[in-house]
Amino acid sequence: MHIHILGICGTFMGGIALIARAAGHRVTGCDANVYPPMSTQLAAEGIELVEGYGADQVGLNADLWVVGNAVSRGNPVLEAILDRGLPYASGPQWLAENILQGKWVLAVAGTHGKTTTSAMLAWILEDAGLQPGYLIGGVPQNFGKSANFSESSFFVVEADEYDTAFCDKRSKFVHYRPRTAILNNLEFDHADIFSDLAAIETQFHHLVRTVPGNGLIVSNATEPALERVLKRGCWTPVERFNDPAGWRATGNDATGTLIIHNNGQQLGAISWQLSGTHNRNNALAALLAARHAGVPLERGLDALTRFANVKRRLEVRGTVNGVTVYDDFAHHPTAVETTVAGLRGRIGNGRILAVLEPRSNTMKLGTMKDALPGSLRDADLVFCYGANLGWDAAAALAPLGDKARVSDDLGDLVARIVAAARPGDHVLVMSNGGFGAIHQKLLDALAQ
């Protein structure tokens, strides 16, 4: 079958393309911005890319048109597909109908930590010899690619609550029908499509309704929103983590330890590469989900000693003249706070220069701007890129006093960071986009 994917360079749709190609289909695709690394990853798999959304693409005569959720009505090729009555599907629908049928699906949902937890879970299953398929919203360094097609009975999917497509405004995750579901956390996000937290809770309730009675829900015990979701109706056993009286994870960032407890007893401890309370909780959730799939806790812990994290999660991009530059995907204030805390736990008293691009739709709307100063309080200096915002970043960060600097010019921002940096500093760059290749710009400028 020839599948043509609209919006193919997004992480999710790019993953769909890789899976479809590995499953034996001819795959082509288009996007408004065809550029590395996704373009090169797709080209390496023999997937032909078209720049833009011209209506003439219907001349490719694809058997099925798979439409990403970034594509809206008015898009020329989408309008041509609809006018001609051509067969189309959303990415989640295609995945569910063509790949997930008959699989033991392990889905990882939550506002934060989905990508890291999904990567941990896939790696634990892989290390245990189960050879899972997976679709993850980032590139796990243990695998080197974001998606994998496998004949295995197991499939790990990052279960996003964002909407499915122009024609389907349900959350993506309602399509996946998991047997094992992780609910990591839940707070307000995606202000462009959800009016409030209650609206997101309803979508999580829809997910819970799809988990069978012989399945398992692994849920964060400290999240009131998740407890409200479960009280609306749950027909599946629930195993809670982050529970002082039950399953919990502790550890020490300075020594790189992860310790698992249950009912007051220590069940295992390892040395590993990650840091932060959030990552210890991510690990425990993945361990419990893998245990449901048949991987003993001890085997899962052993696998995590070799877990190399995901690209863009406190990823060191380089060290120049004693200054280390990191790349991280954090963009929601809660993720920013936990990322800064994780780095602080790792480096101790070293200076953190936090560099933030408020790029997500939620951040651009200014919905979370008042929470930013609190999320950045543990940084020593804060640099914010204020261009293309509908709000005043300098005013929002004013509670941080003179340790916050805002610039609407990327070159000026780089110059300010380099002028402030000194040997031993840690420059933590946080954005859910490319941020104008600021990481390399910083490294080049530091070298000069």
What CA–CA distance (Å, rounded) separates 371 from 63?
A: 47
Give me the helix-helix angle, 410-420 and 438-447, nearest 10°. Answer: 50
Q: Which amino acid is at 283?
A: A
pLDDT one-digit tens code per residue, 281-296: 999 999 999 999 999 9
How far apart are alpha carbons 442 and 355 in whole angstroms? 11
- Which residue has tokens 């709307």? 365
pLDDT band at 413 (very low <50, low <70, confident <90, very high): very high
Query: Which CATH number applies to 102-304?
Result: 3.40.1190.10
Q: Please tell me if the domain spanning 2-92 has the same topology as the one spanning 315-447.
A: no
Highest mean pLDDT among 46-50, 183-187, 206-210: 206-210
Hey, how many other C-beta atoms are within 10 angstroms of the C-beta on 221? 17
Task: Name the CATH topology of 315-447.
Answer: Protein-Tyrosine Phosphatase; Chain A (3.90.190)
When pLDDT is averaged across residues 214-228 and rounded to a whole number, the result is 97
Q: How confident is the model at residue 432 (pLDDT cuts 50, 70, 90)?
A: confident
The model's pTM: 0.84
Query: What's the DSSP call for residue 247?
Result: B
| Dist. CA 264–CA 256, nearest whole Å | 22
Better-predicted residue by pLDDT, 388 or 55: 55
What pLDDT is stored for residue 194 in this prediction?
Answer: 76
DSSP summary character for residue 98:
I
CATH architecture of 2-92: 3-Layer(aba) Sandwich (3.40)
Query: Can you give the residue ranges of every domain in the chain?
Result: 2-92, 102-304, 315-447
DSSP 77: H
Tens digits of per-residue pLDDT, 46-105? 899 999 999 999 999 999 999 999 999 999 999 999 999 999 999 999 999 999 999 999
Q: Indicate if the pLDDT at residue 121 is higher than 70.
A: yes
Residue type, 377: R
pLDDT tens for 10-49 read 889 999 999 999 999 999 999 997 766 677 778 888 899 9
pLDDT value at 188 more than 90: no
Q: Are 171 and 163 in contact (CB under 8 A)?
A: yes
- Chain segment 309-346, per-residue pLDDT in tens: 887 777 899 999 999 999 988 778 888 888 898 889 88
If pLDDT is split at 50, 70 and 90, which confidence band does 141 have? confident
